[in-house]
Amino acid sequence: MSFSSIEHSGLGRYGDQLSPWADVVAVARAWCVSVPDAPLILGVPGCRYGLDHMDWNGHRNYGRLRLSVLLQNFRFENVTDVDSDDNKCVASLNKHGDRQLVVTARRLPL
């Protein structure tokens, strides 16, 4: 489970080392210490219309591509947002970067 955290991984903002794949490593480590079929719930910046974007060094926005890379070895189950108004979502994401998608998935065995 993670809410508004891994999008910052590896960008140096919080004193961590610069590492482009740190978000992927964080989720993969969770895979390593979880049992098969364990649920994964992620809150990450994004909108359901899915733009992959990097706001250096604030955070990543997760669209179709980065989300798919992030969820390697997890079966995607659902994605939800607090607001069904996607125009508001995109505007807010651009302005504040505080719109979070809640993504649920399940850990699969290799």
Q: Report the C-alpha gap between 10 and 7 in whole angstroms.
A: 9
Pair type for strands 59-61 and 74-80: unpaired
Asked whether position 64 contacts another protein by CB under 8 A, the answer is yes
Asked whether position 44 contacts another protein by CB under 8 A, the answer is no
User: At closest approach, how far in Å is the CB of 14 from another protein?
Assistant: 5
Q: Which residues of 69-94 are buried (b: 16+ CB within 10 A; e: fewer)?
A: ebbeebeeeebebeeeeeeebbeebe
Interface positions, 74-93, toward another protein (CB under 8 A): 75-83, 86-87, 90-91
User: At closest approach, how far in Å is the CB of 63 from another protein?
Assistant: 6
Number of residues that bind another protein (CB under 8 A): 81
User: At closest approach, how far in Å is the CB of 15 from another protein?
Assistant: 3
